[in-house]
Amino acid sequence: IVISFMASVYKIVFAGPVGSGETRAVKTLSDIDVVSTEAVATDDVKNLKHQTTVAMDYGVMNLANGDKVRLYGTPGQERFDFMWDILSENALGLVLLLDGSSPDPIGDLHAYVNAFKKIIDSTVVVVGITHTEDNLDRDNAVRSAVSNALKSLNLPATVLSVDARERADMVLVMKTLLYSIDPLYQSE
């Protein structure tokens, strides 16, 4: 008798404003070459960066137990918001990345919480604050402000300071998300 078990496949969505690190996070975590829809920025985004995501980023993270996590990065520009709903469909959770060095990270938080309300109401969200690794005071202030804003919205979410380029930081985000979904989650 041969018994085989199918590995589970999960879907996680990464969202946030332009430049907050969604593409980098997917690339950092993925165990395959990332499918990316980067295009040359032609609007105000070109002042922030040369290329921007116009549809999605896609990668896969292989877990030690054989399960796979499909990683979907959304475009940050609101003009591509039709992709947000498409990519969020059937997602297990949401990683919301906020650029802590932006002029208004709390405004960004409110905009993305409203835009992703449907997925947030039905799943779990973890918030990652990026671009503050060189400014501890700014990092603490933004993290505290975001935590307070989430409490005022009655939205339970873990807030972490992360560098989307660092695998250890992004693995912590994933573990936090998975543990929030299932407290019995055991990483190996």
Give the pLDDT confidence of 159-173 residue by residue, as tens digits. 999 999 999 999 999
188 has a pLDDT exceeding 50: no
Instruction: Check: CB of residue 78 under 8 Å from CB of residue 110.
Output: no
What are residue 15's DSSP bridge partners?
Answer: 96
Exposure string of 173-184, with b = 16+ CB inside 10 Å and e = fewer, is bbebbbbbeeee
Chain length of the chain: 188
16 has a pLDDT exceeding 90: yes
In angstroms, the CA 75 to CA 58 distance is 12
Kind and range of the H or E run holding 137: helix 136-152
Q: What is the DSSP letter of 44?
A: G
Global pTM reads 0.86
